[in-house]
Amino acid sequence: MARTTLDWQAWDAVLFDLDGVVTPTAEVHMHAWEAMFTTYLTTRSAADGVAYAPYTEQDYFSYVDGKPRYDGVRSLLASREITLPEGSPEDPPTAETICGLGNRKNEAFSAILATEGVTAYPGSKRLVEELHRRGIPLAVVSSSRNAPAVIAAAGMTEDFAFVMHGGLAAELGLPGKPAPDTFAHAATVLGTTNARAVVLEDAINGVAAGHAGEFGLVIGVDRGAGADALTAAGADLVVTDLAQLLPGADPAEEDR
């Protein structure tokens, strides 16, 4: 594993995406989305007499990854030319609405989180600890409304001075990624500007948000999106493990 030397003291704040960057919950999200959409598209195909394209792993990266939950539902359905009523966030998971399907996916995610818990990537935990040691303010900027629960389950609530999550973004009227607004708000809360903050993201939409906001440094974390895709979206640097960003890290050590 190659090591990348950065002067962390040159930056005022570091903004972490959560799922796939700090914790391996991106895989849980992927499985929850796959289960929900596979069942829905199969049922809808039978009901409509239309052979809708089945859900694939690439659909996650193309239409869902990094977006607020309901935006992901809307985007994937649009790719199949399926239109549903918007509904409301209070819709039950059984409702055939954009919000209902989003809540159906979240029900599956929450069940997995409650039974299996979550542990941060070792390299990510070590980088957070190193940045704390240097006195650099940290924030989580996640499209997921589950972010506070995931951080708590990982035992990292005290590690971040601010958590921007999907629910808070909705309350503040901030558009989700790939718009840069949630990252920009977090930078402001931490007392700095976009140009003085670092963004760490594994999603193409998240990297695009960091690039659009002209953040000082946008680091892509390749957990499956692909280094080329992250670079094309605007990443200044791509790593596969946040341990690569640690000064004096052991090049043989990788996240598992």
Catalytic residue among 7, 19, 71, 255: 19
Phi, psi at 218, each rounded to 5°: -115, 115
- For this structure, is 228 an active site residue? no
How many Å apart are CA 141 and CA 2, to the nearest integer?
27
- For this structure, is 17 an active site residue? yes
Catalytic residue among 7, 12, 17, 71: 17
Contacts of residues 30-36 at CB distance under 8 Å and 24 or more positions apart, as own/partner, are 30/57, 30/60, 31/108, 31/112, 32/105, 32/106, 32/108, 32/109, 32/112, 33/60, 33/64, 33/72, 33/105, 34/60, 35/105, 35/108, 36/101, 36/104, 36/105, 36/108
Catalytic residue positions? 17, 19
